[in-house]
Amino acid sequence: MRDFPLRTRLFIVAVAVLGAVVLALCVFKTWQAHVSDTELNINAIITLSLLVLGAEAFSAALARSVATRENVDISVGMPIAMASVLLLGPWGAPIVGVMVALEPRPVPWFKRSFNGGMNVLASFGAGWVYAILHAQLSGQQLQTFPTTLSFSPVNVLIPMLAATLTFEFINGMLMVSVLSLAESVSPFRIWFGTMYESALPLFIYSIFGLLIAVVWSIVGPLAAILVLAPLMVARWVFTMFSAHQQAYEATIRSLIQAVETKDAYTRGHSERVSRASVLIGRRSGMREDRVSSLRYAGMLHDVGKLGVPTRVLQKAGKLSDSEFDAIKEHPARGHDIVKNLDFLGEAIAGIHYHHERMDGRGYPEGLTGDQIPEFARIIAVADAFDSMTTTRSYRGARSIDDAIGELRRCQGTQFDPVLVEALISALEADAWELADTGDQVQPHHSSPTYASDHDDPTVSRELGLGGPILVPDDVSELEGWMGEIYQRDVEGPV
Amino acid sequence: MTRPVDGRPSNPLLVLAGLVAVASIAMTAAQGVDVSVLAVSAAFAVFIAIGEVLRITLPGGRQAAPIASAGALAFAFMVNFGDRPMLYGAAFAVTVVTIGSVAGALPQTFFWRGLHLDELARRVLTTGVAAVVFRSWLAPNLGAEPDPATLALLMTLVATCVVAMDVALAAAVRSAQSRSPFRTALVDEFRASIGLSSAVAATGVLIALTAQTMSYWALPVFVVPLLLTQFSYRRYATIDDTYKQTMRSLSKVTEVGGYTGTGHSSRVSRLTVTIGRELGISERGLTDLEYAALMHDIGQLSLPEPIASGATTLVAPDVQKRIARFGAEVIRQAGVLDLIADIVERQADSYRNTQGVVDASLPIGSRIIKAVNAYDDLVGASLESDRMLQAIERLRIGADREYDPEVIDIMAGIIDRQISRTYV
């Protein structure tokens, strides 16, 4: 809380206090009605409140049983809060609404009280909108404490939708205000950002709320369990899904590291190429599903190195033509490995052609310009950038500025100029974390051996001419070193 | 591997369901149909047919049509629709559900996917049981104006029992088809379908209860929550599938690198999983086992030069163990695959240690992979029965010292069946 500017803190306190005042008023009104009017079932308020708490606790436990990290945001308390708008009216609903803020998750107290205040105000507003519209449309008297509810498309569904919109509006306004105060961003930008994310869930919650309310008026509290069962199951499965997805990405990552052990100095290379590719993709305005495919493409782009004999990859001394041809095989070998993975989509072509050059002098097929798939052109830039900015056995890492200069020099001939500029502007916007391979691979300046770093544009040029490049000279030393890396990885933070 | 074989006509479940359906239709035809329920029944039949079209594949290759099943359950339970009492009997309920299901399934058989008769048969049977228990036994004892809360409770109770029966039937079918023990199949089936089944049961009960006040609105309205559940399952099944595909593809890295022969890891994983299933390993355990088998050779990447023809059984035992350990380290790095790493790590260990004592800490998965790997190194892609039998004989010599004799016995049985399928 202390990290926020004063005006943000004041706003949070104001919302919490206003919520508390309204809540107190609601409790007072409800109590008054309870004393004077026996029709009011105060048990319903208590039951609904307990159900909110119970549902949140149960679904959190269910989620914990599956996942290590919780990042699914389906609330099972919210539908009950929406149901209480219909069942309890404007004075009763906020009492249940505030319970949603008591969800059993580690939430900072100021956030909790802000959420509580927000829920009270939103359900208070929604409750009035529903009550007034319902009275107007059904021609009945205004009921601030509804007694029964019978479903009707016009009298119930339309007021409910209006109440949902009100709820979303109040919720959204308060959210947007606090975020724009905290981060000094334009409220409009936040409005569209948060509304886009929260509008649909809220709408679904309100549908569930309507269903609970309708069934509640027939069978009582069993309604909440019956209606929420599919939602709970959905939440549980979503949690399993996200746990599975994390496991999946971790698996790919570790397999890629296995690939990298063959090519000594490229530890972490695939991961960084993947990151740089994503930067370029986002900069050039790619859709998010393509960006995610691009991430896999970057991660897997060198998987075909496994098809290149280790002897060649780690060779000490100059490569013969046939050995260099063997290295040139790796994009095609990579293609062989991933070609059956339907979900990779465009990434397959990206892996296959990531060593093509704009001028047609690349491999495997010598495609030119736009013939080269976009993913491949992106990976080519990211690949070269990373290999230049990391420490290699035969030289230290270059600075980012040097690497940018080199990319600019080769744009048009080797790289797509648009994508080079995209990377450069992305690098200006976000700080690039340089790889810390320095402590693992010390440049072997003392040993004048040769390497086949085909990713480095300065070297590729030389490779074309059969020029000298350097490599670690002792393969057995390399093996020992690999063991070390694994040790470090198992123990140290990743 | 876990994909169920579609029901064959000889399946007793299909015969039983067919008999029930035919008997119900005959009874309905003999008794005649109450005209006042015709429109409602037609609506439910259409609803079930649409649900049948919107079927999904669950993780593990199971098929489900949650909307159709919920509709069937609701029709079995419905007491009132609007202000009309629904007085039809169990036979009529089964008839309507059968017509709806078949109407929804037929176009699929012609156009895109196969017919999933097992699932259809189970739906007919569960509807029949639910309708008989609820309509014929329970409802008549409740009086003319039953209390809705009591009705809801009874429906929930019957639905729970019927879901349990459905799980047991599915487990019986799976156990018969895949030769896995019934108990394992039951636990697997329960784990796989408890979530979706509870959602289906709840929705069925809700539609039946609210049809009185909401009439036709109950159908589309209560489908919304179920669609959300269905959607989340579909996403889960997709990532599950993607995971499997990726593991299968990436396991080819050792082949592309020339470390192992073509198809080695996929053959090893297939046979390993078949043996594991007959040994009664659960579905989750089988997935781990499959991944471990697919990646059992990944440790060879640590070798500067491939072993001749990739046959790890031909190198010294301590080299084998080093390769296994290295592979396990690679896998363990993922942080989420420790069980798989454990299996891979001990794949080269002998069944009995040097003192001749059975090593109890040796995972069953490692024992299977050790035997299957040795078998595949001897046989490879060959389909010659002599070679297969010779390989089994050679492994039998090592059985009880190197290999787990139980694993070898089951493997011998599987190979025998494979040979007789090929040559008879």
User: For B372-400, what is each residue's pLDDT tens digit?
Assistant: 999 998 888 888 888 899 999 988 887 77
What pLDDT is recorded for position B8? 45
Confidence band for A476, pLDDT divided at 50, 70 and 90: very low
* 294-313 of A, contacting B, C-beta below 8 A: 303-304, 306-311
d(CA B30, CA A311): 82
Residue type, B344: V
A178 vs A376, residue with greater confidence: A376
pLDDT of residue B359: 83
Nearest to A204 among B213, B228, B302 (CB): B228
Residue B365 above 70 pLDDT? yes
Q: Is the pLDDT of residue A224 over 70?
A: yes
In the predicted structure, residue B87 carries a pLDDT above the cut 70 = yes
Distance from CA of B293 to the nearest CA of A (A): 15
Domain ranges of chain B: 12-240, 251-423
- Residue A378: what pLDDT? 94
Which one of B158, B330, B339, B344 makes the best mutation probe of the A interface by having the most chain A beta carbons within 10 Å? B330
Q: Which chain A residues are Cβ-neighbours of B212 within 8 angstroms?
A: 218
- A222 φ/ψ angles, rounded to the nearest 5 degrees: -55, -25
Q: Give the model confidence (pLDDT) of B283-325 as tens digits.
A: 889 999 999 999 898 888 777 667 665 566 667 788 888 889 9
Supply the pLDDT for residue A234: 85
* A-B contacts at Cβ under 8 angstroms: 195
pLDDT > 80? residue A314: no
Mean pLDDT of chain A: 77
**Average pLDDT of the residues in B251-256:** 81
A237 to B224: CB separation less than 8 angstroms, yes or no = no
Look at B330 and A215 and tell me if their CB atoms are within 8 Å: no
Check: CB of residue A53 under 8 Å from CB of residue A99: yes
Q: Which residues, 6 or more positions from B232, have their beta carbon under 8 angstroms from its beta carbon?
A: A233, A234, A235, A237, A238, A241
Q: What is the mean pLDDT of residues B213-231?
A: 89
Best probe of the A interface among B329, B331, B339, by most A CBs < 10 A, is B329
**B301, B305, B319, B326: best to mutate for the A interface, most A CBs within 10 A:** B301
Q: Model confidence at A439, in pLDDT bands (50, 70, 90)? A: very low
Mean pLDDT of chain B: 87
Cβ atoms within 10 Å of A17's Cβ, excluding its own = 12
* Interface contact B245-A340, CB threshold 8 A: yes
The answer to whether residues B290 and B273 touch, using CB atoms and an 8 Å cutoff, is yes
Residue B259 pLDDT: 79
Q: What does the pLDDT read at residue A29? A: 87
ipTM of the complex: 0.83
CA A31 → CA A19, A27, A28, A45, distances in Å? 18, 6, 5, 11
**Residue B35 pLDDT:** 85
Per-residue pLDDT at A1: 57
Read off the pLDDT of residues A80-114 as tens digits, 9 standing for 90 and up. Answer: 888 888 888 888 889 988 888 887 777 778 888 88
Instruction: Say yes or no: A63 contacts chain B, CB-CB below 8 A.
Output: no
**B229–A494: do the CB atoms touch at under 8 Å?**
no
B228 to A489: CB separation less than 8 angstroms, yes or no: no
When mean pLDDT is compared across A255-264, A358-367, A395-404, B130-139, the lowest value belongs to A255-264
Superfamily for the A263-491 domain: Hypothetical protein af1432 (1.10.3210.10)
Question: pLDDT-based confidence at A345, cuts 50/70/90?
Answer: confident
For residue A211, which residues of chain B lie inside 8 Å, CB to CB?
206, 221-222, 225
Distance in angstroms (rounded) separating the CA atoms of residues B342 and B366: 8
Average pLDDT for residues A165-193, to the nearest whole number?
77
Domain ranges of chain A: 6-242, 263-491
What fold is seen in the domain B251-423?
Hypothetical protein af1432 (1.10.3210)
Closest chain A residue to the Cα of B222, Cα to Cα: A211
State residue B93's pLDDT score: 94
